[in-house]
Structure 1
Amino acid sequence: MLYLILEQALNGLQYGLMLFLLAAGLTLVFGIMDLINLAHGSLYMIGAFLAAAFYQAFQSFFPALLLAIIATALIGAILERVLYRRLQRMSHLSQVLATFALILIANETIKIIFGAQPLMIGMPESLSGPLELVADELYYPAYRMLIIVVGLIVALGLYLLVNRTRIGMWMRAGASNPEMAAVMGVRIKPLFTFVFALGAALCALAGALLGPLLAVSVGMGESILIPAFEVIVIGGIGSMRGALVGSLLVGMIDTLGRLLLTFGLKLVVDSATAATLGPTLASMMVSLLMVCVLFFRPQGLFPARG
């Protein structure tokens, strides 16, 4: 039982870090550009499809991953210059409507280019087996462990970028007062393009990494968008630390909560009912946590400092 809990805790960590890659992009775009982007999940879908296409072309996972990240970042930069730069001057309601329309456009475009059938990305052979974490007791898939390591490295890299570099200083200044930052010599428009491209690259990284575990399908961005928004509401809009903590909370509650609730419910109801009710209650707990945060601490657990 203990090792099963540890395995599910690792799964929750992996899920939480993948949510962080998406929530970090949302946090950067909203916190710095003051832009609500419902189509953020579409960039995740585009990155996954590009990774699948590059994998079919080269039959190698890591080059496909790198090319998908670069291509999605370029798409994000183009979208920012062509569309999102104009949306910044509009109300949040207009941003919501326009980016919702972009979701529909992205889904239909993907169908035209790649077809409606799901695609798969092959897992690297060197990472297809398990890792022995506890001798003869606990094994964990090597590929899932790679996702955890990559997520932690990206979290550390984003922290250093935002808090320890000149670009991060410009980003914080642009988020706090873009007009004053522009007066002080910060080139705001290229900075916003970089921020949006970085968010798109993080989406592509998440989509490509999850490709070998999930079917790459049209509409996959919408299913992941709701948990990503829950994360930034819980952690605090515009806060990178809040995005990380919120992601880990949501990942652990959704994954580890399913196991613990299912085992607990088996004590009072039959196994079939417990297996159905446990995951449902775990998902409800995430939503309940978000509601409680909104009610008692509407700025989030770790609000961004202005």
Structure 2
Amino acid sequence: MHTTLPDIANTAAAIETGKLDWVGMGEIELPIIFESHNIPPVNVTTKARAFVNLHKADAKGIHMSRLFLALDTLSTEQQLNPQTLAKLLDRFISSHEGLSDQAQVEFKFDLPLRRKSLLSNKVGWKSYPIHLIAKINQGVLSVELMVDVTYSSTCPCSAALARQLIQNAFTEQFSESQIDKAAIVEWLGTTQGIVATPHSQRSVANVKVKLSNKAEYFDVVGLIDALESELKTPVQAAVKREDEQEFARLNGQNLMFCEDSARKIKALLNKQQYDDYWLQINHYESLHAHDAIAIAVKGVANGYTA
């Protein structure tokens, strides 16, 4: 005998009436194939969040399984790109006809990329945290892409203080009558010669960009490459001694407060075609127990705020 299962979401009355901005699920773990410009499709494991609004004030709830099944179809039958993302959100809404007219989805995952060393031509894996957020409202798609880029920042103040100590040590070690090139070169190669070094710290640039709703593809690698090229000192994957020496040189020639990093990235993003952007620079201080932070936005009307 077939028994009809109860559908409380469709039949039960709401305890309290009222519209809700977003209803859905979070921390949905699923594999997807991510498509981005200039790299082959990549298998990644994501944590997803899926939502629709509930604009029918007296409805008991939404059909969460329909959101889950739509995500499952993306995971097993499709690749994630702007086109499938738009179709996914359309399916969220069409499966909730009469209940919802807006949809939102988020994906968080680490994107593994092969990255070359600075000089030795060695190649290694680096992972970049990616956060993709897409919304659809009255048929208009909005897509935001956030990426974290880790780099090294060397303090300009400590570099100046270290140089002064080296100058003082040189003055104490050598008189004008003792100026001998070979002796100076040998002295400079000792800890007594380089008596102090500036402090540097691992730093992270969190960058969020709003993509055009007409974008035909994601270009995550292009954004990462541009950010790392501008910062000059991204953390490395595989390194040999010549790479480590070059990294030290780059740190010495690209001294940065968090304000410097923020202004460099802001100037870079201003040259791009992004509808909007938000950035936060985090210098995880090695001198202080606290962090140094700078935040900037593009400054468009009704756009991101700091």
TM-score, normalised to structure 1, is 0.24
Q: Under a length normalisation based on structure 2, what TM-score does the superposition of the two structures give? A: 0.24
Higher helix share: 1
Q: Would you tell me which structure has more strand in proportion to its own residues?
A: 2
